[in-house]
């Protein structure tokens, strides 16, 4: 099982990292860009993609519907990018949260089974980038704790750690019990908070979207259709249009670890009243803050452009 320092040494090394991306892909637009970033980066070997749920009554009628929509959105990205839909094995995640399960038992589902099978069959450590809720990865670790010896969870969630502060943001709150289990179990963990000075500091500006040039389905989708889905036409057309791209931070932890300030800290406690509690005797995790958008965004744009341009040449 990797220590925080070993994780840091590994992500700073030149070794190409094996990755599973676990994403709530229909929740917002940053997951779609994070997926293409993973595909286009030469520092990542994307093994598979898991679809996870989210809570937004304007986008999905319930947890199960949200998971299904994320699953469909991942295949939509493949199609727009001109990528064969069977190139990256893709799995539907849990249809309910651990929070709602009697006695807080794991949710057996295809995405969790994918994590177990992939990690157990890998001769190298597998990084699971969880850019949404934790249901899939925590269920996998509960169903087979032995996988914790050969994996690292990169979780984009919670707020910046501070004793007594409210800890929740969307990813953590959607399956809060899963979050409580994660920080209490003995699994190598990289925690990337949202705000303040976390993943919410990463922004795409208008020119970053316009960089995806051309008339291919991929170029139009990433330049125009995706940002337009969540923003009004009027807002998108403004020169100062920008969008927060939190989910790029999980990928950047591997592609550009120098762009993030890492420290080794005790795993925080997520209390029952949804606040942080700090206990210096707890196991250590790797904690990343202050992402440098000026490094992460140009690299993400370049990697996504590479994928789009490869499609245009076909």
Enumerate the domain spans of the chain: 4-312
Taking only the tens place, the pLDDT of each residue in 271-309 is 999 999 999 999 999 999 999 999 999 999 999 999 999
Taking only the tens place, the pLDDT of each residue in 97-120 is 999 988 999 999 999 999 999 999
Taking only the tens place, the pLDDT of each residue in 196-216 is 999 999 999 999 999 999 999
The secondary structure of residue 221, as a DSSP letter, is I
Q: pTM here? A: 0.96
Nearest to 65 by CA among 96, 98, 34: 96
Q: Rounded to whole angstroms, what are the CA distances from 69 to 24, 182, 213, 228, 269? A: 9, 25, 27, 18, 32
Nearest to 151 by CA among 98, 189, 191, 180: 189
Write the CATH number of the domain with boundaries 4-312: 3.90.245.10
In this structure, are residues 23 and 154 in contact, taking their beta carbons and an 8 Å threshold? no
Return the beta strands (E) in 138-289 as ranges.
Answer: 151-156, 189-192, 203-205, 242-244, 261-266, 269-270, 276-277, 284-289
Nearest to 266 by CA among 193, 142, 161: 161
């Amino acid at each position: 099982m990797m220590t925080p320092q070993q994780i840091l040494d590994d992500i700073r090394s030149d070794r190409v990292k094996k990755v599973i991306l676990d994403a709530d892909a229909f929740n917002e637009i940053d997951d779609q860009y994070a997926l293409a970033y993973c595909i286009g980066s030469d520092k990542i070997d994307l093994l598979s993609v898991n679809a996870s749920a989210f809570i937004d009554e304007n986008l999905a009628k319930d947890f199960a519907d949200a998971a299904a929509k994320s699953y469909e959105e991942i295949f939509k990205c493949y199609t727009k990018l001109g990528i064969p839909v069977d190139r990256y094995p893709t799995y539907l995640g849990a249809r309910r949260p651990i929070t709602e399960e009697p006695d807080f038992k794991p949710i057996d589902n295809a995405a969790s089974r994918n994590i177990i099978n992939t990690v157990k069959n890998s001769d190298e450590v597998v990084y699971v980038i969880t850019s949404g809720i934790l249901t899939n990865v925590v269920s996998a670790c509960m169903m087979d704790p032995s996988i914790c010896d050969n994996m690292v969870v990169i979780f984009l969630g919670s707020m910046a750690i501070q004793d007594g502060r409210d800890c929740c943001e969307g990813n953590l709150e959607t399956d809060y019990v899963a979050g409580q289990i994660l920080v209490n179990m003995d699994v190598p963990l990289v925690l990337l908070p949202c705000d303040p000075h976390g993943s919410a500091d990463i922004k795409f500006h208008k020119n970053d979207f316009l960089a995806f040039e051309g008339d291919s389905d991929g170029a139009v989708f990433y330049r125009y259709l995706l940002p337009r889905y969540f923003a009004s036409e009027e807002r998108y057309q403004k020169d100062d249009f920008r969008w927060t791209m939190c989910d790029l931070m999980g990928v950047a932890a591997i592609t550009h670890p120098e762009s993030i300030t890492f420290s080794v800290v005790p795993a925080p406690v997520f209390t029952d009243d949804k606040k942080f509690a700090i206990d210096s005797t707890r196991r250590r995790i790797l904690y990343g803050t202050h992402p440098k958008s000026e490094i992460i965004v140009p690299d993400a744009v370049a990697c996504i452009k590479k994928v789009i341009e490869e499609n245009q040449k076909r």
